[in-house]
């Protein structure tokens, strides 16, 4: 996918929020949505079940305007976390320029985190993408929960961060760490562009 179009001078970044069910992916997007000035954001599309679970996916287009002469658009997606929506996840993951993995910090969710991480790797491989080459950041959400319920960022790093990618503690409901995560992901994505500079 053409991420930077130098002829039309456009940059389009697709960032996918991945992670187990109820880890707070949609919350991340909602928080961002809430902070973006009206003229900059498109309509947030959220297909949710009656119980507020993401059924299909969330899509938040951001118009960042002209940056260094490039019309810049960010497209933020979330995947449905529940195990049985793998087909949707694959679909959303297609053509992703960067991935944010939102992990649930609760100790009892560790297995779900690991399972989802493995699922992500599998889906990437299936699409012929080298998981190590994709811009990737981790977010340890729900760090605001009582400390006896959650794992510390160190412990989570140990369990999930195989490739030593940037990781962020967050409390997405209040917005802590949300933009830090997004910034790190976008920076990586944009950096990748320059490496992919044609010869």
Question: Footprint of other proteins on this chain (CB under 8 A)?
Answer: 4, 6-7, 9, 11, 32, 35-37, 40, 64-65, 67-68, 70, 72, 74, 143-145, 147-148, 150, 152-154, 169, 171, 175, 178-179, 182-183, 186-187, 190-191, 193-194, 197-199
Of the pair 120, 134, the CB lying nearest other proteins is at: 134
Give the separation between CA 36 and CA 67, rounded to whole angstroms: 16
* Rounded least distance, CB 61 to other proteins, Å: 14
Of the pair 96, 171, the CB lying nearest other proteins is at: 171
Give per-residue burial for 52-73: e unless 16+ CB within 10 Å, then b: eebebbbbbbbeeeeeeebebb
* Rounded least distance, CB 7 to other proteins, Å: 6
Give the separation between CA 69 and CA 134, rounded to whole angstroms: 26
* Rounded least distance, CB 184 to other proteins, Å: 9
Of the pair 84, 197, the CB lying nearest other proteins is at: 197
Give the separation between CA 104 and CA 109, rounded to whole angstroms: 6
Q: Residue 52 has what DSSP assignment?
A: S
Strands 10-18 and 98-104: parallel
* Rounded least distance, CB 175 to other proteins, Å: 7
């Amino acid at each position: 996918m053409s991420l930077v179009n130098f002829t039309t001078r456009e940059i389009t970044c697709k960032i996918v929020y991945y992670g187990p069910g109820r880890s707070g992916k949609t919350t991340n997007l909602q928080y961002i949505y809430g902070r973006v000035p009206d003229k900059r954001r498109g309509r947030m599309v959220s297909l949710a079940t009656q119980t507020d679970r993401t059924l299909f996916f969330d899509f938040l287009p951001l118009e960042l305007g002209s940056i260094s002469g490039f019309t810049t658009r960010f497209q933020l997606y979330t995947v449905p976390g529940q195990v049985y929506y793998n087909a949707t996840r694959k679909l959303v993951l297609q053509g992703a320029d960067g991935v944010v993995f939102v992990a649930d910090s609760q100790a009892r969710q560790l297995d779900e985190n690991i399972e989802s991480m493995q699922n992500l790797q599998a889906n990437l491989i299936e699409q012929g993408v080298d998981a190590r080459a994709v811009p990737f950041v981790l977010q340890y959400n729900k760090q605001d929960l009582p400390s006896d319920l959650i794992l510390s960022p160190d412990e989570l790093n140990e369990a999930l961060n195989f490739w030593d990618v940037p990781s962020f503690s967050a409390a997405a409901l209040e917005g802590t760490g949300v933009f830090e995560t997004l910034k790190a992901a976008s920076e990586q994505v944009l950096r990748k562009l320059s490496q992919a500079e044609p010869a």
